[in-house]
Amino acid sequence: PPAGPSRRDGRDSAAELELEGLRDTRNRTIRALCGQRSMPRSVWELPPGQRRTVLRHLLVSDKYRFLYCYVPKVACSNWKRILKVLDGALESVDVQGKMDHKSDLVFLGDMKPEEISYRLKHYYKFIFVRNPMERLLSAYRNKFGEIKEYQQKYGVEIVRRYRKNGGNSAGDDVSFSEFLQYLLDEDVERMNEHWMPIYNLCQPCAVRYDFIGSYERLHADANHVLEHIQSPSFVRFPERQAWYKPVTAETLHYYLCNTQRRLIRELLPKYILDFSLFAYPLPNITSEFCRQ
């Protein structure tokens, strides 16, 4: 008689069912929200500023007929590497060196209206999403802990604005609470792309995405996309760089539980569409959770 399914097969099947359930939840939520009369049905219905933002974040592969809306802090550098390899501008996804986020990439916003409309209608469209608080923490740790340009451009101003006698700061000592207060006071449409909500970056009501991948299942979802677009077998999603510091559940717990709850509660409405549309739970900041 044929052997029964292995324990591993059972786990894989359960994971697939869970994934299908998550995708179904996301799709139903997006359809329900985007079906409301006030929501934009196409990029041409968006206000000019919002339209510029989404078209500037949609990368184009004419050779493989897809559009990818890149979201900073959701592995977008690796996806850009893949696009460059597919286009022949890069030999391998493993080529080391600083990522050039502009050259050798094709942006939908640089095309004529009729070319934009054709690609939006006929190309495979996908995005990758991430837990909103995790994404914000990743941006905070990276930009204010490691990138001098961000420390000077944003950090100095944040400290000056929210800290008494903060005028002497070099912008490299911004606290997470100060960063969240800054986001609370910032107009969403004017935010830097690294902390602008995914909804505003990629407009999932105006652009009907065929696939929404997640950071939590990055490699499996990336393989799904690569298989769908029929990329060459040598193109694979890159492994995480050795220097990368991931945001763990423990790290997120530490930062959330050492931040004023008022700040987090007041900030949630700005990111509520990212939580609800992409089926992420709101952050747990109860006393009981934080005592653990």
pLDDT digit string, tens, across residues 90-146 = 888 887 666 666 788 999 999 999 999 999 999 999 999 999 999 999 999 999 998
29 and 108 part of one domain:
yes
81 and 109 part of one domain:
yes
Which range marks the domain in which residue 257 is found? 134-193+248-291
Residues 220-276: tens digit of each pLDDT: 999 999 999 999 998 988 887 666 678 899 999 999 999 999 999 999 999 999 999
Q: Is residue 4 part of a domain?
A: no
Using CA atoms, how far apart are residues 210 and 123, in angstroms rounded to an integer? 9
Q: Is residue 176 part of a domain?
A: yes
Q: Is residue 46 part of a domain?
A: yes
Q: How confident is the model at residue 2 (pLDDT cuts 50, 70, 90)?
A: very low
218 and 185 part of one domain:
no
Domain count along the chain: 2
Residues 48-103: tens digit of each pLDDT: 999 999 999 999 999 999 999 999 999 999 999 999 999 988 888 887 666 666 78
32 and 149 part of one domain:
no
Q: Is residue 13 part of a domain?
A: no
Q: Is residue 109 part of a domain?
A: yes
Residue 291: which H helix or E strand, with range? helix 287-291
Q: Which two tokens stand for residue 171?
A: 């912008």
69 and 181 part of one domain:
no
Q: Is residue 29 part of a domain?
A: yes
Using CA atoms, how far apart are residues 108 and 117, in angstroms rounded to an integer? 10
Using CA atoms, how far apart are residues 82 and 26, in angstroms rounded to an integer? 26
- Which comes out higher in pLDDT, residue 114 or 28? 114
138 and 127 part of one domain:
no
User: What torsion do the CA atoms of 140, 143, 149, 155 make, to the nearest 10 degrees?
Assistant: 20
Q: Is residue 234 part of a domain?
A: no
62 and 170 part of one domain:
no
Q: Is residue 238 part of a domain?
A: no
124 and 157 part of one domain:
no
Predicted TM-score (pTM) of the model is 0.90
Give residue for tokens 């179904």. 24
Rounded to 5°, angle at Cα 86 from 80 and 90: 70
